[in-house]
Amino acid sequence: MKLPSDILELLDISWAPGEGGLHGFLNELLKACERWFESSGASIFIRGETPGVFVIAARAGVDAAIPEGATILEGKGIAGTSVQSGQALLINDPKDHPLLAKRKVARKKGIQSALVIPLAMPGGKCLGVLNLSRREGYKQFTEADLRHAQALARYVALALSNARMLAEIRASKEEADSSRKRLQAVISSLGVAVVIVDSEGALVGKNAEADRILGASADARFNKAPATLRKALEKCLNEALQGKRSGQRPHDQDEDRTWSVIATPVQGGGATAVVEEITEAERAHVESARLNRLAEIGQVTATIAHEIRNPLTGIRSAAQMVSISPEDADKFGKVIEQEVLKLNDLCDEFLDFAKPVALRHKPLRIAELAKRLVAAHFRQFMACKVHLELENSDSEPTIDLDELRIEQVVRNLLLNALQASAPGDTVVLEVHRWGFAVEDKGCGMSPEILERLFTPFFTTKAQGTGLGLSTVRKIVESHGGVLRVHSKPELGTRFEVVLVPEFGELRLSA
């Protein structure tokens, strides 16, 4: 064997990703092995994706004839035995080797001597196998050759281990770069402004729409944004940097423009904000509300006329009876008075419903309001043998609301749920970060009733004017909230009152 005069010559054959890669390194190594070990053939198989299978990676000399895709199976043949046992093998005659004799492995035709060395890190699994062979007519390998080959194998195993690690790192980096490019493409194509700030509030990312709407600069000064929008965005980002998801709908009175701003904390520090102009949507919403209001007024007018006729008929009949029987004037006078009072109450309700809701906002903890109302109505529910429960499913929110109006909404929904429930049923008042919900397991409602549920003066009760739920919706919408109802006959009803704008478009219930 003609070993290099300096073992550091091994390091001259180095593996670099840009210079032929691992395949080029292994081929160069095998050419050197032919020279150092005076071998007539050399090959390296490395572990494949399938457990126990090793695939040809490089070959030289007579072994260059090994076909592409050739494999070694762990435990099969000479190389497979070496891999399974973890031992380097010097084979001059397989019949004389203690590991191979019982397996009846035959000498490969034309081979005088062979070295088979597993490529493994200390304490690690086998990464591959190095095969060196000498043809007939060459002298046999010696124990000294085996020791030198084992030293070389440790170097090759280290190279293989590093190559796999670098390949995995490169694949991860390429995947991360690909994901980042896809994300950037999506963000750039959005019709909304997206800004990303680090934990110090400095701008680290934005899209073209952010430049157009906000003029976002490196120090996160949104110099193109109207003052109203800028203040709302800065407030939302500050709250997001403190770990709280935040949303606002600022409106610029001078320009009559409205935006939706939602800021979200980023894991590991920083925050992202999305800004969308919703001026047209808000105008469409206002116009739709106006048209709905006109339709309601038309229906209310017809209902009012009907409701007024009944007391008027009673008054007219009583007046006729007085003229016929003056002696019964006292009796029929009371009838007239009762009917007039009914008309007066009806007018009061109609006028109250027709007036816009005047709100007096102040910070309100919905959970505290819910506890107070549950305590106030607990006996009333107990008298009807209906259970009343309060659930705080997550953080207890504090929201700027009109306390008396929201109390009116909660009380109305609770009493409606009580009237729909049978003895033994349960009514649950839930408090969420987006508002609250009232759910019962009572009689439920058909789709036909649900369609008319919020129509003024529509009622399924023997007593009542049908303005309760209409008023509830009016109060909720005046707070900028959303009122939702889910109901099925015989399965119960669930009302959801969403009072936080950023949750208005989300599906909240199952």
Q: Write the CATH number of the domain with boundaries 282-354.
A: 1.10.287.130
- Residue 7: per-residue pLDDT: 43
Domain ranges of the chain: 7-168, 190-277, 282-354, 362-503
Distance in angstroms (rounded) separating the CA atoms of residues 150 and 145: 9
Give yes or no for a contact between 409 and 373, defined as CB atoms under 8 angstroms apart: no
Q: 10 Å Cβ neighbour count for 437?
A: 22
Q: What is the mean pLDDT of each run of 10 residues along the chain (510 residues)?
A: 46 52 79 85 90 91 88 89 88 80 70 89 84 88 89 83 79 81 70 85 82 68 81 89 87 85 88 86 76 68 68 78 79 80 74 70 87 90 92 75 89 90 92 89 84 67 64 85 88 89 50
Pick the CATH number of 7-168 from 3.40.50.720, 3.30.450.40, 3.30.1520.10, 3.20.20.70: 3.30.450.40
Pick the CATH number of 362-503 from 2.60.40.10, 3.40.50.700, 3.30.565.10, 3.40.980.10: 3.30.565.10
Q: Write the CATH number of the domain with boundaries 190-277.
A: 3.30.450.20
- Residue 8: per-residue pLDDT: 44
CB half-sphere exposure, 441, CA atoms < 13 A: 10
Beta bridge partners of 131: 43, 116
Distance in angstroms (rounded) separating the CA atoms of residues 506 and 490: 26
- Residue 105: per-residue pLDDT: 66
Give yes or no for a contact between 476 and 482, defined as CB atoms under 8 angstroms apart: yes
- Residue 53: per-residue pLDDT: 93
User: What is the distance in angstroms between the CA of the first residue and the CA of the last residue of the chain?
Assistant: 77
- Residue 459: per-residue pLDDT: 64
Tokens 């403190």 correspond to 242
- Domain 190-277 identical in fold to domain 362-503: no
- Residue 208: per-residue pLDDT: 80
Give yes or no for a contact between 276 and 192, defined as CB atoms under 8 angstroms apart: yes
Residue 280 neighbours by CB under 8 Å, 6+ apart:
none
Residue 370 neighbours by CB under 8 Å, 6+ apart:
390, 410, 429, 431, 436
- List the structure tokens of 441: 């397991």
